[in-house]
Amino acid sequence: MSAIFYINGELGEHDMGSEERSAWVMLIVTLASYGIYLWVVLGQGASMPLAEVPYAAAMLWSIGGAIIGGIVLNMLGGMLLMQGAPRKDQRDREIYRFGEYVGQSFLVIGGVGVLVMAMAQVPHFWIANTVYLAFGLSAVLASVAKLVAYRRGLPEW
């Protein structure tokens, strides 16, 4: 595990700061919660048409679990891994902003898709799942963009 989180005891060139750790947590929690949601919904879909699967409770539990999981993992990471870590600096702010801008693309695509689906009167199951997928892909893309920026630097425009 120390190879993943670069734990050496003191902060050096390859150590992970709190913002980078937070990006890893977001990536892992998003993938895990959406994966569990898909497993539950697709499991129920084996015995009935997918559009008729009762998805709302599973979606709400998945979202709530992701929020709580993210908070707990960030707290644990802060307590266990980041003794004496520096505070957020200008580079962290720029990487955060870059990642969020990159991640917004899936929200825009999902929003347009949902508008078209609503106009076509597509069943609520598909609309809700498109929104949830857009948020999930946005979080994954934002996290990956942040992690790449931490490892390779911000792109020069």
In order along its 157 residues, the chain shows pLDDT tens digits of 434 444 343 444 456 778 888 999 999 999 999 999 999 999 998 899 999 999 999 999 999 999 999 999 988 887 877 655 567 778 888 999 999 999 999 899 999 999 999 999 999 999 999 999 999 999 999 999 999 999 888 877 6
105 and 152 in contact (C-beta within 8 Å)? no
- To the question of pTM greater than 0.85 for the whole model, the response is no
d(CA 52, CA 48): 7
CB contact set of 59 (below 8 Å; sequence gap of 6+): 37, 128, 132
Cα-Cα-Cα-Cα torsion 64, 70, 75, 80, nearest 10 degrees, comes to 140
d(CA 70, CA 28): 9
